[in-house]
Structure 1
Amino acid sequence: MMIYLPCFARWFILLCVLICSSVMPRALLAQSRPSTTDTASYNQANTLLWRISGSGLPQSSYVFGTMHLLCPDDAPVTDEMIQALRSSEQLVLELDMDAPDFAKRTRRASQLPMGVSLRRLLKQREFNVLKQFFRERLNQSIWAYVSVYPVLTESVVYSTALSCTPVSYELKLMELAKAQSKEVEGLETVEWQMASLQRATPKQQAKSLVRAVLAYDSIPPLMQQLVTTYRQQNVDALYRMATDPRLGTNQAETADLAVRNQDWIPKMKTWMAARPSFFAVGAAHLGGATGVLQLLRQQGYKIEPVVVPLRP
């Protein structure tokens, strides 16, 4: 199995890291209460696709909430999405995955510093736990991952908790954009995202990886709850799950989400003023008081839902 690139795993890693240190029952996930700053306070529709207009824009733009790794049946490209992209002149992802040097920069950014390895970060018994898990549960060798930041290896572990071979919404949208001869842009750089993921030291990441492996059998039900919420297209519920301290999120992680959202708004404004754009970012970025939708509303834009039929 390949090591998933940071752009694919960003949202996936965020939620997975939140639950790796303790296993929470499904009932707890349902206890998150709506806020008066939820999108429901100004629009009752549940959707992942939103139209952006007003504030002097010559044409409408769109923003869509992705989950970076999903089973194929949970990642449909709907008629509404195709039409929204067709009416746009460019696709803007969290990262410009179409850049000529993207793969090279990603490989470089994912490597641990010289002289540091997963083996050296762990005690022998901890490393043996990983070796056995990768060999017996994933039919792989842990040695393929010893030079990679452990947070990325952890994303591989969580991706196998899905009952399928995961696909990337970003790749699907890129293929559609190429078919429509659209440009692809990025809100952030690979280096910036990797720096953000590395708030924890390599040793802390390695310990988290071991905990995730030890708790592996408890992960699939939580992943299913996450996917179910995503399929319900409730961006506020997804935001609450991503920032719920009872699921392990600390204040720094919640603040990081808000900072990234704030950083995106000027870039989005510039792109939308120049040409109609289709933005696709992790769905946790859309909802809540500091989410992209609310921030755009505060800038005077009109935010309207584009209702996409719910999947059964």
Structure 2
Amino acid sequence: MRKILWGILVCVMSATAGLAQVPTENSLLWEIKAPGIARPSYLFGTIHLICPADFSLSDSLKASLAKTQQVAMEMDMDDPGMMMAMMKSMNMREGNSLKTLLSEQEYAKLNQFYKDSVGMGLQMFEKAKPFILMGPLFNAILSCQPQSYEMSLVDLAAKQKSEVIGIETLDEQMAIFDSIPYKDQLKTVMSMIDSMPSARQEFKQLIDLYKSQKINDLYSMTMKSDFGMEGNEEIMLFARNKKWIPRIQKIMAGKPTFFAVGAAHLGGEKGVIALLRQQGYKVRAVL
């Protein structure tokens, strides 16, 4: 929320100025031109998991990527030490475990669901931050072996010998899920299990919006999701968007960069596109 510093008039002016920066075009791919820098960078909105039948890498995306010299994602996805670092940072703090956070009935229900739908029990997730349970759960929601835009972009970057870097570190991302109460994370997981048909329908709508490249509608749906952030928008989206802007500026000042972040980070007046425009960057849709 903006602070009201100069009364109602200035508040209205500030709100109008912010809204003027909100993207109106339907596009997942955007060109970024920085003041004083000749060669543009690009910004692409990903969806982290999607069925192969819905997956597509457009010619314009490939052409834009070919014009850059590095790929910047939320994290450095080709870091060979990432899996080891993930194992070290995946556990909850202060000795918490799923058995201490769930009732016996809830634990038994969750354990049985993972055995039936995922093919494994909860033993290996016993002390893990509950959001990690979402990975296997999405296989059940999608009813397919999902594909990753991030890993596909890593492969394309390797083919053109472009370095892959991260906008933020694994430790920063994992710390987010120590800030959100573990019981709230488990509440989301249990809600999805209890309402699987609704979860599948919502995710289908999300995929449809993604394929039609309606980033503002996708952003709005993410905010209203029954299985989403539930009051954690500031931690999950807004604070990160704001933190990313100076990092994006520094990265693209070094060399032309292809940025790829979750599509929910693009839309709205607190999204990456609006924030870059507020800093004087020209951001236009690549259609």
Smaller-chain TM-score range? 0.7 to 0.9
Considering only aligned residues, what root-mean-square deviation do their CA atoms show, in Å? 2.5
Superposition pairs for residues 73-92 of structure 1, below 5 Å? Answer: 73-92=53-72
| 1:57 corresponding residue in structure 2 | 37
- The aligned counterpart of 1:112 is 92
- 1:35-91 Cα deviation digits (max 9, x unpaired): 978999776531100001141112010000001111113221221111111110000
The whole-number CA distance in structure 2 between the counterparts of 1:42 and 1:281 is: 17
Q: How many residues align?
A: 273
Q: Does 1:190 align with 2:173?
A: no
1:103 aligns with 2:83: yes
Shift, 1:207, TM fit: 3.9
Q: Note the C-alpha offset of 1:273.
A: 1.4
Residues in 2 aligned to 1:245 and 1:54: alpha-carbon distance in whole angstroms: 34
Do structure 1's residue 126 and structure 2's residue 128 form an aligned pair?
A: no
Cα drift, residue 250 of structure 1: 4.1
Aligned to 2:12: none
Amino acid at match of 1:87: K
State the partner residue of 1:292: 272
Instruction: Return the TM-score normalized by structure 1.
Output: 0.80
Give CA-to-partner distance per residue, 1:162-221, whole Å, 9 cap, x none: 131111110000000001100011011111111112333334433443332222232111
Q: Does structure 1 conserve the Cα–Cα contact (< 8 Å) formed by 2:22 and 2:273?
A: no
Indicate which of 129, 154, 159 corresponds to 1:174: 154
- Judged with a 3 Å threshold, the aligned counterparts in structure 2 of structure 1 residues 163 and 98 are, in CA distance, closer, same or farther, namely same
CA deviations over 1:231-275 (Å, ceiling 9, x no partner): 110111111112238776444424641111111111111111111
Residues 210-289 of structure 1 correspond to what in structure 2 (within 5 A)?
Answer: 210-244=190-224, 249-254=229-234, 256-289=236-269
Give 5+ residue unaligned stretches, structure 2. 1-14
Q: Distance in 2 between matches of 1:143 and 1:246?
A: 28
Q: Are the structure 2 counterparts of residues 223 and 147 from structure 1 closer, same or farther at C-alpha, using a change threshold of 3 Å?
A: same
CA contact (8 A) 1:37 1:289 kept: no
The answer to whether the 8 Å contact 1:110/1:149 transfers is yes
Q: Distance in 2 between matches of 1:115 and 1:159?
A: 29
**Distance in 1 between residues matched to 2:205 and 2:20, nearest whole Å:** 21
Of 129, 133, 137, the residue aligned with 1:153 is: 133
Change (3 A) 1:36 1:135: farther
Over the matched positions of the two proteins, sequence identity in percent amounts to 36
Contact 1:95 1:185 in 2 (8 A): yes
SS at match of 1:112: coil
Counterpart of 2:71 in 1: which secondary structure? Answer: strand
